[in-house]
Amino acid sequence: MQERIAEIQRSLGEALQAAPSKEELLSLKQKLVGKKGELPALLGELKSLADEERKALGGKLQSLRKEIEQSIAHALSELERAAMDEKLQKSWDDPSRRGSLFARGLTDAGLHPITEILQELEEIFSRMGFEILDGPHIEDNHHNFEALNIPEDHPARDLQDTFWFEDNTHLLRTHTSCIQIRGMKDRQPPVRFIGPGQVFRCERTDQWHDFSFFQLEGLFIDRNVSVANLLYFAQTLFEEIFQSQVEIRTRPSYFPFVEPGLEIDMRRDGGKWVEMLGCGMIHPKVMEQIGVDPTEYSGFAFGLGVDRLLLMRHAIEDIRHLRSGDLRFVRQFSRYRSGGIPC
* Contacting positions for ligand FA5 (CB under 6 A): 175, 177, 201, 203, 209-210, 213, 215, 255, 258, 261, 275-280, 301-303, 305, 307-308, 319
* Residue number, 209 or 337, with CB nearest to ligand FA5: 209
User: What's the per-residue H, E or C state across 128-139?
Assistant: CCCEECCCCCEE
* Residue number, 37 or 197, with CB nearest to ligand FA5: 197
Q: Quote the CA–CA distance of 239 and 246 in Å, as a whole number.
A: 6
H-only helix segments in the chain: 2-17, 22-33, 38-45, 51-93, 113-127, 141-144, 178-183, 227-242, 284-289, 306-314, 327-337
* Residue number, 64 or 311, with CB nearest to ligand FA5: 311
**Closest distance of CB 187 from ligand FA5, Å:** 17
Cα three-residue angle 50-56-59, rounded to 5 degrees:
130
* Residue number, 8 or 258, with CB nearest to ligand FA5: 258
Give the torsion sign (CA, 37, 43, 44, 49).
positive
The count of residues in the chain is 343
> How far are the Cα atoms of 53, 108, 135, 211, 309 from residue 173, in angstroms, in the given order?
60, 33, 10, 12, 21
**Closest distance of CB 177 from ligand FA5, Å:** 4
**Closest distance of CB 323 from ligand FA5, Å:** 11
**Closest distance of CB 73 from ligand FA5, Å:** 45
**Closest distance of CB 291 from ligand FA5, Å:** 18
* Residue number, 72 or 277, with CB nearest to ligand FA5: 277
**Closest distance of CB 254 from ligand FA5, Å:** 10
* Residue number, 28 or 181, with CB nearest to ligand FA5: 181
* Residue number, 39 or 174, with CB nearest to ligand FA5: 174
Nearest to 207 by CA among 128, 109, 315: 315
Residue 95 is given by DSSP the state T
The kind and range of the H/E element at 260 are: strand 258-267
**Closest distance of CB 233 from ligand FA5, Å:** 13
Nearest to 123 by CA among 26, 199, 41, 194: 194
